Amino acid sequence: MTSARPAVLIAIVLALAVLPLTTSNGYYQDVIVQIYMWAAAAAAWNLLGGYAGQFSLGHAAFFGIGAYTSSLLFLKAGLTPWLGMFAGGALAALFALVIGYLSIRLRGPFFTLSTIALAEVLLILAVHWRQLTGGAEGVSLPPTPDPVNFTFDDRRVYGLVGLGFLLVTMGATYMIERSRLGYYLVAIREEEEAARAVGVPVLRVKLIAAVVSAFLTALVGTFYAQYVLWIEPSHMFSLDVSIQLALIVIIGGLGTLFGPLIGAALVIPLNMFLRAWLGAAVSGLYLVVYGFVLVLVVLYAREGVWAEVRRRLRPAGPRSVQEPA
């Protein structure tokens, strides 16, 4: 589906880069930063979920590992999060390799279940291992702006840095999409047995996707920590975070380059609007909307909202062939 020309891509990147600079309103800046951040994490999820068809609901584990590793390295060893994030990414990748080796042979919902369990275990360990993680109260990072240590006083800078993270994950997606690996992934998603029969090294390819996806998710986890400057286990490792990543990609379009960005541009403003509008009194309501939207989209717009809108807009043209489930 994605065959965007380089000129179009450059124009889109420039527009995204200018966007945070166009407003001086802190709230809108926050919305933009969060869209870029969640789109970046969702794009990382998309590599495993969208392209390889392995639906993880445990990606909060990698997000949390990234955030905790860089933050703890900074607080306890003084290492700048710019470098610490690679340590977090490496740790998450290692984790994905070990856990993936055990669980990636499971298919469909059983793989998903094992990923939920994994994130739950990390949540418990993060709460329990107080000396290291600060337990349930979480970890605060010093709020003093210091670019060397990945903290800025201007949200517009966060917007640009967030865009950088988005470009890295989308760039990785772009390269994988066009590589042999990308074709292997799609082959596994569409028909695993057939892929195996024609010689695709299924286990190895799935593991590579899991490791790259985990690494990139952890990098965005560090960005989250540096942006919010406070992390706690019950949010970082929560099922809600994992579901949000999946929801963004499913709404935007699974296994597409721009799906995560489109999904984030729809989901994040909705989330923030509902939270601001309804306030803390009904804190769960945006998640009620998430659940409702998730059910509707998987039942009625499986290729994502964007593909569905385009189909509706040209009813006369040849309809894209509905793939058999």
Residue 207 within binding range of another protein, rule CB under 8 A? no
Those residues whose C-beta lies under 8 Å from the C-beta of residue 195, and which sit 6 or more positions away, are 184, 187, 188, 202
Q: Which of 20, 53, 138, 159 binds another protein (CB under 8 A)?
A: 53
Residue with the two structure tokens 């593909």: 307
Report helix, strand and coil shares of the chain as percent, to nearest 5.
75, 0, 20
Nearer Cβ to another protein (92/161) = 92
Segment 100 to 119, residues that bind another protein, using CB under 8 A: 102-103, 105-110, 112-114, 116-118
Q: Which of 254, 257, 265, 305 binds another protein (CB under 8 A)?
A: 254
Per the CB < 8 A criterion, the answer to whether 232 and 224 are in contact is: no
Give counts: helices (H), strands (E), the chain.
Answer: 15, 2
Residue 51 within binding range of another protein, rule CB under 8 A? no
Residue 10 within binding range of another protein, rule CB under 8 A? no
Nearer Cβ to another protein (12/239) = 239
Nearer Cβ to another protein (218/250) = 250
CB of 137 vs another protein, minimal distance in Å: 15
CB of 107 vs another protein, minimal distance in Å: 5
Nearer Cβ to another protein (26/284) = 284
Q: At 194, which amino acid appears? A: A
Nearer Cβ to another protein (16/200) = 200
User: 111: exposed, middle or buried (C-beta count within 10 Å: 0-12, 13-18, 19+)?
Assistant: buried
DSSP H or E segment with residue 231: strand 230-231
Per the CB < 8 A criterion, the answer to whether 90 and 217 are in contact is: no
Segment 128 to 157, residues that bind another protein, using CB under 8 A: 128
Q: Which of 22, 25, 179, 283 binds another protein (CB under 8 A)?
A: 283
- The conformation of residue 1, written as its DSSP 8-state character, comes to -
Calpha distance 170→149 (Å, rounded): 25
Residue 285 within binding range of another protein, rule CB under 8 A? yes
CB of 117 vs another protein, minimal distance in Å: 5
Q: Is 253 helix (H, G, I), strand (E, B) or coil?
A: coil
Those residues whose C-beta lies under 8 Å from the C-beta of residue 65, and which sit 6 or more positions away, are 88, 91, 92, 95, 122, 218, 221
CB of 109 vs another protein, minimal distance in Å: 4
CB of 28 vs another protein, minimal distance in Å: 27
Residue 17 within binding range of another protein, rule CB under 8 A? no
CB of 313 vs another protein, minimal distance in Å: 24
Residue 214 within binding range of another protein, rule CB under 8 A? no
Q: Which of 4, 83, 125, 309 binds another protein (CB under 8 A)?
A: 125
CB of 195 vs another protein, minimal distance in Å: 14
User: 272: exposed, middle or buried (C-beta count within 10 Å: 0-12, 13-18, 19+)?
Assistant: middle
R_g over Cα of the chain: 19
CB atoms within 10 A of CB 21: 12
Residues that bind another protein (CB under 8 A): 53, 55, 57, 102-103, 105-110, 112-114, 116-118, 120-121, 124-125, 127-128, 239, 243, 246, 250, 254, 282-285, 287-288, 290-295, 298-299, 302, 325
